[in-house]
């Protein structure tokens, strides 16, 4: 099952290496995106980037592509985004 994980580099509540990175390694179809300078609440701190990532993920996952999102394009985001995929 496809899984999108969005994590901030400055998250002190759930550190990257202790949680999201381990989960991404354990789930075969996981995609981990790390947002530089973001803390524990990426959806609050960087809503445009998170929205764009979710839309791209849904558009790229045919099994999870809602018809309501068809034809909607995401706005370009600013800021640094790093993405890691499981090998």
Model pLDDT, residue 60: 82
Mean pLDDT score, 58-83: 51
Interatomic CA distance for residues 59 and 70, integer angstroms:
8
Helical segments of the chain, H only: 20-26, 42-45, 47-60
If pLDDT is split at 50, 70 and 90, which confidence band does 17 have?
Answer: confident
DSSP state of 15: -
Phi and psi angles of residue 2, each rounded to the nearest 5 degrees, phi first: -60, 140
Task: Record the pTM.
Answer: 0.67
């Amino acid at each position: 099952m496809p899984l999108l994980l969005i994590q901030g580099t400055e998250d002190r509540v759930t550190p990257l290496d202790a949680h999201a990175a381990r989960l991404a390694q354990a789930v075969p179809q996981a995609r981990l995106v790390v947002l530089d300078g973001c803390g524990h609440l990426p959806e609050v701190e960087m809503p445009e980037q998170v929205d764009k990532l979710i839309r791209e993920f849904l558009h790229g996952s045919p099994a999870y592509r809602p018809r309501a999102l068809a034809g909607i394009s995401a706005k370009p985001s600013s800021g640094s985004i790093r993405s890691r995929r499981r090998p």
